[in-house]
């Protein structure tokens, strides 16, 4: 893990547009593939990410197809009703809003919670020390000036994603427990959250407002609630879903409609691509219409 002085380079900051967001804001990216701490970051990611994937898979969404399969289970259990709402919301600037010391503390809680005092022979204290180096010693250049990041982590650093996921594991526990007690879906893809509810719009909005107050650095935006219209006879409940997105916090009028068409078959192993703008946990994805292989 020792950096080679002849190969290391100072990280630099650049921006990429987010065209799916109003006003096309910019996402800050720290390019640190040759930074002094990149090897430590990669090692920590290799150590901790498998633990997160193992223990938090029940509430982690992988992609749009995974979401569809979760909805299929929801339907098969008879939980989809005329009153069911689909809701999706985004966590604002997750990577750059992570409180550094609190995130390291939650990393220790995560390992103790799942009884991992050592990972490949490395102690909790050693991992804490290395994680602090990755977060606190994050220097970069921008416009010929030099900076040190004092909140959050570099988006281009491998360990930042894993640490953000573990921080969100801790943050989302009240929501997860609420959804379990209500027999509703809850899933998260990094900073995008999807859930179902058969509660009233007022109670659902209150629940999300409460979640918005869990932590001062974690703010929920762009929430969409979509009523489900049950399908005609002969089609599955997911065969004809109509989504209407609304701003639950601001009470604004619908910002758009996207009809989604799913046909449910016994065998889902052929993917027919069709482009939609949908409530997927991955923004502006190509949603997949699944068809049976003949």
pTM of the entire structure?
0.74
Please give the pLDDT value at position 282. Answer: 32
Instruction: Give average pLDDT by consecutive 10-residue segment, the chain, 294 residues.
Output: 77 86 83 87 96 94 89 90 85 88 95 90 92 91 88 86 95 94 94 89 84 88 51 34 32 30 27 32 32 33
Please give the pLDDT value at position 222. Answer: 56
> Burial, 277: exposed, middle or buried (Cβ in 10 Å; 0-12, 13-18, 19+)?
middle
Please give the pLDDT value at position 1. Answer: 66
Please give the pLDDT value at position 13. Answer: 86
């Amino acid at each position: 893990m020792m950096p080679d002085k002849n190969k290391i380079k100072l990280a630099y900051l650049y921006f990429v547009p987010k065209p799916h967001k109003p006003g096309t804001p910019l996402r800050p990216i720290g390019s640190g593939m040759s930074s002094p701490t990149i090897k430590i970051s990669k090692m920590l990611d290799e150590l901790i990410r498998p633990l997160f994937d193992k223990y938090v898979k029940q509430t982690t969404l992988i992609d749009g197809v995974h979401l569809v399969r979760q909805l299929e289970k929801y339907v098969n259990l008879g939980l989809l009703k005329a009153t069911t709402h689909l809701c999706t919301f985004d966590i604002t600037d997750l990577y750059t809003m992570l409180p550094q010391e609190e995130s390291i503390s939650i990393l220790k809680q995560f390992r103790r919670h799942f009884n991992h005092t050592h990972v490949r022979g490395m102690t909790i204290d050693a991992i804490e020390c290395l994680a602090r180096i990755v977060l606190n010693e994050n220097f970069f250049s921008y416009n010929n000036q030099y900076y040190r990041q004092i909140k959050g982590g570099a988006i281009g650093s491998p360990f930042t994603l894993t640490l953000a996921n573990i921080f969100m594991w801790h943050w989302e526990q009240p929501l997860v427990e609420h959804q379990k007690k209500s027999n509703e879906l809850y899933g998260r893809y990094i900073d995008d959250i999807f859930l179902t509810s058969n509660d009233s719009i007022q109670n659902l909005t209150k629940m999300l407002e409460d979640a918005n107050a869990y932590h001062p650095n974690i703010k929920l935006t762009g929430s969409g609630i979509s009523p489900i219209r049950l399908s005609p006879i002969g089609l599955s409940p997911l065969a004809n879903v109509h989504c209407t997105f609304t701003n639950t916090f601001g009470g604004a009028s619908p910002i758009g409609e996207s009809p989604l068409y799913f046909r449910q078959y016994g065998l889902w192993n052929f993917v027919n691509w069709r482009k939609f703008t949908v409530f997927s946990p991955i923004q502006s994805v190509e949603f997949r219409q699944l068809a049976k292989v003949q």
